Amino acid sequence: MNLDIKEEAKHLLITEEKKGVLELTIKDNSKKLGEILNFLPHGIIDKTVTGIGATTLEIYSKRNSIIVVPLKIIAASKVEQHPENCYYVGSAINNFQTFGEEAFDLFLTNDKIPYKNVIVVAESLPKVIKTIGEDVYKNYFLLIDEINTIQEDSKFRETIENCLDIYLKFPPQSRAMVTATMINFSHPEIAKEQKTTINYEEQKPNLIDEFIMSYNTLGVCIDLIEKLLKEHQDAKIVIAYNSVIGSKILAEELVLSNPENAKNVSILCSKSNKKKAGVFYAELTGLKYPSKINFITAAYFSGYDIEEQYYLINLIDENEIFSKISINAVRQIAGRAREGLHKHYIVYPYSENEEELIEYVDEKQLLDLAKVELKSIECIENNFKEYPFFKTTMLDIHSAVIDNGGYKGFKLIRRNIENEINISYFNIDSYLEHQKTQYEEHASYNSFLKSLSNSFSVLHVLNLQSHHEFSKVKESNLDVDQSIKTAIENLQNITTDNEAYYLSVKAEDNIQKKVYFIYDKLSKFYYEKETLLDKIAEVAKKNSKAFNILKSEVTHKSLPPYHPLKKFIFEYFKEGVIYKSSEILELLNKVHALASTNHKKIDSELKAVEIFNCYFETVRKKYNNGYLLKNYIKQEDYLDTVINRDENNIFSY
């Protein structure tokens, strides 16, 4: 491999190849990559250290580059720092507008910019390639930055893996992927790429000054913030907590205890949660955090530089599953501070529970399962290839296998940029990282502390409690109403149902997440979006049972009147008879078998009664724990205009 080292810096770099990996060791840890190399090497670059200047080196290299990043805040930040030769492509943010071909063409044809850098949000990469044309593969170097984030986000950003399809079209010498927190790749072609690691000879130690365990993490966090405010009046404090609701509650508590804090608190989160953050909402517009006290959520965990020191608190909350971030994310968050941290704290929930026994899968098992799904599609196609009129139905079958297959919600196959069905390698990578984070790192506080010790030196481990009553983050009725209203407004603006799933995963408060989840599960049953949204508004305030009942009701009402399942249900259940829960369960499984629905066996009496009540008006008889079937529920005529009747709907509940 030809490595382009600056002549004056050759004495500062040690190069060594071990087991096919090129190891670069920089002797002076004050030096950035741009002071050592003229160009980034191609292939997979594990820079191991945040802030080493890999992207900056590419921006100032003497070649045209397309730099792909996972989030628009990252893209905007990089272009703001280097406006002289960079162009932003993504949706509107800060002072940047959405993509326009005319303005982009002006940038590309500007002779005053000899080497052009296009900083593009991952989903917008195809339009950049299309606009530049086929010459892009000869005239540009493609760098995918923060590749681990793109891998992990592929579960809910379905088109993001198109970046991989485009990446593989570039010549190997003209492409690279880089991150400081590398996760494994399952794609066989990526496994063949040249691999480079970059490190400093004398690493600065990564320190966790205090690892604090508590039954009351929110209360301890408030105590810690107030302590830091008292002892370090001029310093800034950053709380990394992936919950807008939780951040707002903590912010309000700080203002309640000292009204002066009202002008000193900000919540930096995605723009879609601006209303939820309320008066505390802020955006990052420079190289310093906007306030004295700054709460940051996942949108601000990686990819930008902060050129000031501050106190960092990582808050993990037992009641907020998305606050349970990976060790890699902890490293990325700490890495934002280019001038280092004053101190770094982690507040973690204390639990005496034993570690759970989890059924683990490995990469080979997931790849084998994906191949089985591809084989099933191939088998169906071969059986029907003589029937050209079956083409439309085949597309539906493809979608059914892709959407309903997979493993634990992670799709294992996908349509690539050429509309071919292939293995979703990034989703496989994403699941394996999710498995590691949730079931290994966060299995208990001991396991998290042990995993943390592989990347950080933990100086002190404390067990603290607090007088603040924050046993659980609870929203007021007003907050719940506002959350539901915001989520409904967002759903009214989506153009495809897949966007609801994306919103559900990225939502930073539980109420909105619940609304998006319900929409994602029920949207295919309704012709009219407004009718569905009205239904969701009713059940979103209630518990999960209300949603399950609605889903069962809609699933069965959406079956056509002639469906054999309905025929057998009305035949086997008689008016005036009292049925015990166990009898309902047994009979429903029997009629499913007779109707040949291929539906999985109903394994719960509660679920069986739920379905039973979709068809019949019943009265509960407590003395014998049974249900009196009074009469049949009429299938209202209006359902034909509201409910999407489809005999395949039975497969989805």
Instruction: Look at residue 472 in the predicted model and tell me its pLDDT.
Output: 47
Q: Does one domain contain both 213 and 334?
A: yes
**Residue 465 pLDDT > 80:** yes
C-alpha 107/C-alpha 83 separation (Å) is 12
Instruction: Look at residue 175 in the predicted model and tell me its pLDDT.
Output: 97
Of 201, 195, 200, the closest CA to residue 21 belongs to 195
Q: Does one domain contain both 195 and 215?
A: no
Beta strands (DSSP E) in 298-431 are 311-315, 343-349, 413-415, 421-423
Give tens-digit pLDDT for 136-185: 999 999 999 999 999 988 887 888 999 999 999 999 999 999 999 999 99
**Residue 208 pLDDT > 80:** yes
**Residue 251 pLDDT > 70:** yes
**Residue 354 pLDDT > 50:** no
| Band (358; pLDDT cuts 50, 70, 90) | low
Q: How far is CA 542 from CA 477, 535, 539, in A?
A: 12, 12, 5
**Residue 651 pLDDT > 50:** no
Q: Does one domain contain both 331 and 455?
A: yes
Contacts of 482 (CB under 8 A, 6+ apart): 275, 276
Q: Does one domain contain both 19 and 133?
A: yes
Percent of the chain with pLDDT over 90: 45
Contacts of 129 (CB under 8 A, 6+ apart): 136, 166
Q: Is residue 282 part of a domain?
A: yes
Give 188-251 as a DSSP string.
Answer: HHHHTS-EEEEEESSPPPPEESEEEEES-HHHHHHHHHHHHHHH-TT--EEEE-S-HHHHHHHH
C-alpha 309/C-alpha 228 separation (Å) is 14
Q: Does one domain contain both 318 and 449?
A: yes
Q: Is residue 595 part of a domain?
A: no
Give tens-digit pLDDT for 11-33: 999 999 998 899 999 999 889 99
| Band (342; pLDDT cuts 50, 70, 90) | very high
Contacts of 581 (CB under 8 A, 6+ apart): 605, 606, 608, 609, 625, 626, 627
Q: Is residue 311 part of a domain?
A: yes
Percent of the chain with pLDDT over 70: 88
Determine what percent of the chain falls in helix, strand and coil, rounding each to the nearest 5: 45, 20, 35
In the predicted model, what is the mean pLDDT of residues 52-66? 95
User: CA torsion 453→155→65→31, rounded to 10°?
Assistant: -10
Q: 């439309």: which residue's tokens?
A: 392
Instruction: Look at residue 557 in the predicted model and tell me its pLDDT.
Output: 72
| Band (593; pLDDT cuts 50, 70, 90) | confident
C-alpha 6/C-alpha 200 separation (Å) is 17
Give tens-digit pLDDT for 406-456: 888 889 999 999 989 999 999 999 999 989 988 888 888 888 999 999 999
Instruction: Look at residue 581 in the predicted model and tell me its pLDDT.
Output: 87
Give the CB-side neighbour count of residue 456, counting CA atoms within 13 A.
Answer: 26
Give tens-digit pLDDT for 600-618: 677 778 778 888 888 888 8
* Number of structural domains the chain divides into: 3
The token pair at 384 is: 């029907």
User: CA torsion 8→12→18→22, rounded to 10°?
Assistant: -50
Give tens-digit pLDDT for 380-416: 888 877 776 666 677 778 888 887 788 888 899 999 9
Q: Is residue 104 part of a domain?
A: yes
**Residue 641 pLDDT > 50:** no
Helices marked H in 39-81: 54-60, 72-81
Q: Does one domain contain both 325 and 448?
A: yes
Range of weakest confidence among 258-262, 393-397, 498-502: 498-502
C-alpha 146/C-alpha 356 separation (Å) is 31
Q: Does one domain contain both 349 and 371?
A: no
In the predicted model, what is the mean pLDDT of residues 199-209? 89
Q: Is residue 294 part of a domain?
A: yes
Q: Does one domain contain both 455 and 375?
A: no
Q: What CATH code is carried by the domain that includes residue 111?
A: 3.40.50.300
Instruction: Look at residue 652 in the predicted model and tell me its pLDDT.
Output: 43
**Residue 39 pLDDT > 60:** yes
Q: Are 144 and 177 in contact (CB under 8 A)?
A: yes
Of 424, 301, 437, the closest CA to residue 374 belongs to 424
- 223/338: higher pLDDT: 223
**Residue 328 pLDDT > 60:** yes
Instruction: Look at residue 638 in the predicted model and tell me its pLDDT.
Output: 38
Average pLDDT for the chain? 85
| Band (271; pLDDT cuts 50, 70, 90) | confident
Max intra-chain CA distance, the chain? 94
- 224/3: higher pLDDT: 224
Q: Are strands 626-632 and 616-621 parallel, antiparallel or unpaired?
A: antiparallel
Q: Does one domain contain both 374 and 416?
A: yes
Give residue 404's identity as a one-letter amino acid code.
N
Point out the domain boundary residue: 157, 174, 200: 200
**Residue 353 pLDDT > 80:** no
Instruction: Look at residue 391 in the predicted model and tell me its pLDDT.
Output: 66
Sign of CA dihedral 590, 569, 607, 491: positive
Instruction: Look at residue 23 in the predicted model and tell me its pLDDT.
Output: 95
Q: Does one domain contain both 227 and 130?
A: no
**Residue 628 pLDDT > 50:** yes
Instruction: Look at residue 62 in the predicted model and tell me its pLDDT.
Output: 96
State residue 39 phi and psi, 5-degree precision. -140, 150
Give residue 549's identity as a one-letter amino acid code.
I
| Band (637; pLDDT cuts 50, 70, 90) | very low
Contacts of 611 (CB under 8 A, 6+ apart): 552, 556, 588, 602
Q: Which of 224-238, 260-274, 291-305, 508-522 has the highest mean pLDDT?
A: 224-238
C-alpha 200/C-alpha 30 separation (Å) is 9
Q: Is residue 431 part of a domain?
A: no
The token pair at 301 is: 């965990």
In the predicted model, what is the mean pLDDT of residues 522-538? 76
In the predicted model, what is the mean pLDDT of residues 560-580? 84
Q: Does one domain contain both 93 and 173?
A: yes
In the predicted model, what is the mean pLDDT of residues 291-296? 97
* Structural domain range at position 189: 7-200
Beta strands (DSSP E) in 86-130 are 86-89, 117-121
**Residue 248 pLDDT > 90:** yes
State residue 583 phi and psi, 5-degree precision. -70, -40
Instruction: Look at residue 640 in the predicted model and tell me its pLDDT.
Output: 47
| Band (646; pLDDT cuts 50, 70, 90) | low
Instruction: Look at residue 357 in the predicted model and tell me its pLDDT.
Output: 52
**Residue 132 pLDDT > 90:** yes
- 640/495: higher pLDDT: 495
Q: Are 39 and 63 in contact (CB under 8 A)?
A: yes
CA 538 to chain centre: 27
Q: Is residue 469 part of a domain?
A: no
Point out the domain boundary residue: 132, 166, 200: 200
Q: Is residue 453 part of a domain?
A: yes
| Band (496; pLDDT cuts 50, 70, 90) | low
Q: Does one domain contain both 307 and 449?
A: yes
Instruction: Look at residue 544 in the predicted model and tell me its pLDDT.
Output: 60
In the predicted model, what is the mean pLDDT of residues 73-85? 88
